[in-house]
A and B are shown apart, each in its own frame.
Chain A
């Protein structure tokens, strides 16, 4: 049984009032895929029913981190905030839910009830227009409205994700990547942003890294639904989506649920019936895409022409890992085939896929700086944030480990410029970076900038001096 079918069974049991069965199936799913959003959502709804607000909000936080545009989760958050008496947050979450255009009428009604408005009196916000245009396949219009929405609500990660997706569909990959980073900083497990980043990496010739990132998504989205939906809009890409995974539900659970698994299961993208797939998109790109002629291309306005696609023709790839077989289909060879053999490593714990191991700074000066900075009030740390899966920080560590010095420096600069409120986390990352000779000069300079930003001029002066020394300049 596919995980989505298990989740559908749990939802059905919940709807029929069989909380025990719903809970059993959900726990079974979560035991296999700890962050699986549909299972966490059902568990949150069960906790809501049981008046366990904290547990429900915990699960919903995980759901919205993986799927910031999940309208049902936002509506549930709104109800829980209202139950707690936190009216402001309840209204904010309800507004978010409405603006995400939920397809499920009860979800919309629940959000509208909290907002206490009639559907007819709802204002059409830029966020709504952005979603509508994106869903209609008009990414240029979606981008325009999403930018307005981002300027109105810069803290809204769902709006930022809409903007990122619009940019991705327009093929503006660098701009998309920057937005994805912002999304990943707020919603560390955002699957959609990770899929776009994986594709961007592959388009830049770093297919193995993109594939690795895509494989990690399987921890959260074991059926790669979002990846299939997004990559399915492309004519060709160099990523390989692993095959469907199955789970074994105990027979007693399946029996209790009257065995109508296939009927209740959500439509799967692999079945070609995913409701959110844009019109004209290839619904089942389970493997690397087949190149068809123009007549086989998507008809969506934003994707009607080959030049609109974020991908590029296979023939354009220098030393391409992608090969065309006699029938014109694309296959992946060599290292990539090994990386993405279709066998997911789902038996591994989540922690095993977290940030790559990185040599800790061994230089005495880095240790001394850490000590200095701590004396000025902030203790540095080299521990990645708990639960981070695709965060910018992890990505920076990954680039450093891969000796991608230019990219790493660019990303570190972005991190410092963004002035992350988690000061110690930035300290830790930069102190790791100074341990690498190739990054040392720029990392000390960035550390100086960061110390200045955080009101630690003494440590900043020291860091800048070290940067100057690395650059071989005497400041005397």
Chain B
């Protein structure tokens, strides 16, 4: 079975990515956000995205497949693919489309149906 730490290492190699976290439903998020937020950062960001997912589902809008946001110096992309959920961050020059494709492939390649 693919471990979250293996996936995290792969995500960190995506071009322009400066931080990443990955987790499966029912597991603790693994990763780091390039030192931002310390050891709590990945968990906090993941939990916040999970909260937004719950809110969207509760309001009947369906399940979020992707979230992207930008701040004054950071872009953040969160994806769900099968059993995996992932968050990556990078600078304003991050090629979001390229990272999305790379990340989707990476997650899909490591998805284990029924796991």
Contacts and interface: CB of A to CB of B under 8 A. Distances in A.
B28 interface: yes
Given A457-B54, A458-B54, A452 B47 contact: yes
A403 interface: no
B44 A452 contact: no
Contact of A448 (B25, B47, B53, B54): B47
Nearest to B27: A453
A452 B30 CA distance: 12
B37 A468 contact: yes
A468 B37 CA distance: 8
A451 B48 CA distance: 12
A454 interface: yes
Contact of A461 (B27, B37, B39, B48): B48
Given A449-B28, A453-B26, A453-B27, A467 B40 contact: yes
B1 to A, nearest CB: 14
B50 interface: yes
Interface string B1-36: 000000000000000000000010111110000000
Given A448-B44, A452-B43, A473 B54 contact: no
Contact of A473 (B25, B28, B37, B48): B37
A346 interface: no
Nearest to A450: B28
A445 interface: yes
- Considering residues B28, B37, B51, which has the most beta carbons from chain A within 10 angstroms of its beta carbon? B28
Contacts of B47: 448, 451-452, 457-458, 460-461, 463-464
Contact of B37 (A453, A458, A475): A475
A416 to B, nearest CB: 8
A453 B47 CA distance: 10
A455 interface: yes
Interface range, B side: 20 to 34
Contacts of A358: none
A452 B51 CA distance: 10
Given A448-B44, A468-B44, A457 B28 contact: no
A465 interface: yes
Interface string B41-71: 0011011111101100000000000000000
Contacts, number: 66
A445 B50 contact: no
A376 to B, nearest CB: 9
A306 interface: no
Contacts of A473: 37-38, 40
A471 interface: yes
Interface string A34-52: 0000000000000000000
Contacts of B37: 468, 473, 475
Interface string A282-314: 000000000000000000000000000000000
B26 A464 contact: no
A464 B28 contact: no
A452 B39 CA distance: 15
B10 to A, nearest CB: 21
Nearest to A467: B40
A143 B39 CA distance: 36
A445 B29 CA distance: 12
- Considering residues A455, A458, A465, which has the most beta carbons from chain B within 10 angstroms of its beta carbon? A458
A456 to B, nearest CB: 9
- Considering residues A449, A461, A465, A468, which has the most beta carbons from chain B within 10 angstroms of its beta carbon? A461
Given A445-B39, A452-B28, A453-B28, A461 B44 contact: yes
A453 B30 CA distance: 12
A468 B28 contact: no
Given A452-B23, A452-B27, A452-B28, A457 B44 contact: no
A451 B28 CA distance: 9
A453 B26 CA distance: 4
5 contacts: A448-B44, A449-B43, A454-B26, A458-B47, A465-B44
Interface of B: 23, 25-29, 37-40, 43-44, 46-51, 53-54
Q: Which 6 A-B residue pairs are closest in the complex by CB-CB distance?
A: A457-B50, A460-B47, A464-B44, A461-B47, A449-B28, A457-B47
